[in-house]
Structure formats: C-alpha cells, structure tokens
C-alpha cells in the first residue's frame, strides 16, 4: 500500500478545508467549549480551595474531606469532557478529510463513545507504564556497567556499614544523591523521548478506529492500530516534523500556565495581588490556546485524518474506504 507524501497530505487537507462545509464553525464550537470548561474548572477549584482553607480544626475535618472529594470529581469530569470532545473533533475532521459534511453536533460522537475511550486510555496507560519501567531497568543496568556507578556504590557504603537506616547514613546518602543520580537521569530522559514518540506512533490511529470501528473494543483498536502502522512510522515521522511549528506553538501556549516561572526567568516582578495575577494569566492562556486551535488545528487534524485514510483498505473501483460508517 503506497502512502502519500507529507506535502501531498497537507495540500489535500488545505483543499478539503476550502471546499468543506463549516470546518471553522466546528473548531470554533470545539475551542469555545474547551475554554469554557477550563474556565469553569479553574473557578470551581478556586472556590473549593477557599472553602477547604476555611474548614479548620477537627470540626472541619468532614467538610474538608467532602470538599476534597468534590475537587477530585470536578477534575475528573473536566478531563472526561476534554477527552470526549477531542475524540468528537477527530470524528469531525475525518468527515471533512473525506469530503463529507461535519457540524458541531459531530462532536457528540466522542461523548457517545466515552466509556470505550476511557478503557482505551487505561490500557494505553498500562502499556506505556510497562514500557517506561522496562526502559528504566535497561538504563539502570547500563549505568551500573559504567564508571559513573562507582560513586553510587561509595555513597551507599555508610548504609551497608551501619547495617541499618540510621539518620546519619540517610543524610549522607541524600546529600550526594542528586549528583550521583544525575547521569542516569539524563540517560533515561534521552532514551525516553524516542520511546514516547514510538508509543504515540504505534497507537496514532486508535482514536480514528474508536470512531469508525467501535465494535473492535479497546484492546482490538490498539492491536489494529499497531498492525496498520507497520512500515508507516517513517512517513508519520515526516508528517510530525513538518508540523514542528504547530507543536512549538502548543508548547509556548502551555508555558503560559506557569507565569511565575516565566517572569522569574525574565527577572520581572509585578506589584499586583496574587488573585489578579492568576486570573490575568489564566485569561491570557485561554485566549492563546483558543487562537492556536481556531487558526491552526483544522489544518493539522485533517492532515492526520488523511494519513489514517491512506492506511485504510479501499474499494478497487471507487477508491472509497471499506467499512466507512461515515459514507454518504
């Protein structure tokens, strides 16, 4: 099966967006709901934190427990909404990539498959955790074979000689731990970056499969994505690299969530109240995130949808995707 080039996919995506019906309306609704959800979630968290801080002493113990539980529930609800909408947006962009009609109501497709999506994300989490742990074991074993490990062994000698976890031995180990573990930490991070991309590449098609073939189930979607991505990762890497500017914009936008660190790095101090500062920072972040999604997300999402389509079985005569539940 021949896979189109990244340039071809991006040109075709641009044409689809020009001829498609209401693609900007879809992303407008999507971005607006995400911004509203983030604003509501942060406001609820702020109010709940304020109530928790006022519930002091033994009398407020039950109140703190209830409010803490409410904070967790709000966070989980917000996460589920974001994930469900993201899957619905994926469905909308897939329709546009195929020259079909998509509207704001298409976003509901992700929410309708929310439980399936949750099971899939949990399985992905288990797989990624296992892969990361295995990588950690490999890195540690490699590290122990290098001269750098000698210092780690020497730093643990006080514990061995003491025969127990004495305070002095623990303080001695802690004082040199960050220096001793720095090389292995750097090695692990360097090795983790390609592992994370490989994981994302292998399971890049999962969301599309959840939309088109929910009957596969969570495990089936993961297996099918892994099967279809065999021999296609290099092409996906080219597409990813061609959107470097988009990922850079996303990273810059996410950095706005840490305004204190940014101002400290720039050596800037502001004489405003913490509340005003945090509210202003949140508004700036939400505005930047909305702008990036509204102006650029469609172009990226349709390109990846076309990449998925290029890996789907086609009818010999019409070239239409076999088993396409969105066919008109």
Question: What's 314's DSSP letter?
Answer: B
Distances (CA, A) of 114 to 58, 221, 252: 40, 14, 29
- Average pLDDT of the chain? 85
- Do 133 and 107 meet the contact criterion of CB atoms below 8 Å apart? no
CA distance 156 to 305: 53
What are 39-98's pLDDT values in tens digits?
Answer: 998 888 888 887 777 777 666 778 788 888 888 999 999 999 999 999 999 999 999 999
pLDDT tens digits, residue range 22-38? 889 999 999 999 999 99
Q: Is residue 234's pLDDT more than 80?
A: yes
Tell me the C-alpha distance between 99 and 20, whole Å: 6
Burial environment of residue 132 by CB neighbours within 10 A (0 to 12, 13 to 18, 19 or more): middle
Burial class (CB in 10 A: 0-12, 13-18, 19+), 91: buried
Name residues whose C-beta falls within 8 Å of residue 4's C-beta, 6 or more positions apart in sequence: 12, 306, 310
Per-residue pLDDT of 206-222, as tens digits, reads: 999 999 999 999 999 99
């Amino acid at each position: 099966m021949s896979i189109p080039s990244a340039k071809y996919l991006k040109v075709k995506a641009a044409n689809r967006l020009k001829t498609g019906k209401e693609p900007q309306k879809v992303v407008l609704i999507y971005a607006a709901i995400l911004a509203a959800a983030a604003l509501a979630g942060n406001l609820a968290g702020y109010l709940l934190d304020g109530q928790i801080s006022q519930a002091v002493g033994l009398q407020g113990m039950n109140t703190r427990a209830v409010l803490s539980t409410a904070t967790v529930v709000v966070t989980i609800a917000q996460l589920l909404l974001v994930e469900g909408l993201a899957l619905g947006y994926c469905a909308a962009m897939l329709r546009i990539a195929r020259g079909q009609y998509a509207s704001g109501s298409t976003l509901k497709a992700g929410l309708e498959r929310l439980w399936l999506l949750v099971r899939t994300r949990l399985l992905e989490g288990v797989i990624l955790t296992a892969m990361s742990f295995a990588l950690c074991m490999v890195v540690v074993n490699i590290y122990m074979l290098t001269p750098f490990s000698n210092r780690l062994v020497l730093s643990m000698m006080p514990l061995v000689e003491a025969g127990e976890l004495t305070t002095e031995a623990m303080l001695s180990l802690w004082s040199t731990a960050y220096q001793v573990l720095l090389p292995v930490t750097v090695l692990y991070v360097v090795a983790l970056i390609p592992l994370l991309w490989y994981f994302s590449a292998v399971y890049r098609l999962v969301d599309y499969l959840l939309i088109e073939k929910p009957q596969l189930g969570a495990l089936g979607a993961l297996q099918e994505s892994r099967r279809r991505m065999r021999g296609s990762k290099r092409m996906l890497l080219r597409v990813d690299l061609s959107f470097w500017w988009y990922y850079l914009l996303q990273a810059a936008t996410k950095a706005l969530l840490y305004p204190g660190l940014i101002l400290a790095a720039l050596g800037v101090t502001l004489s405003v109240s913490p509340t005003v500062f945090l509210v202003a920072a949140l508004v700036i972040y939400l505005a930047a995130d909305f702008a990036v999604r509204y102006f650029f997300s469609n172009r990226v999402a349709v390109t990846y949808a076309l990449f998925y389509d290029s890996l789907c079985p086609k009818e010999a005569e019409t070239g239409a995707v076999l088993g396409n539940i969105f066919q008109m």
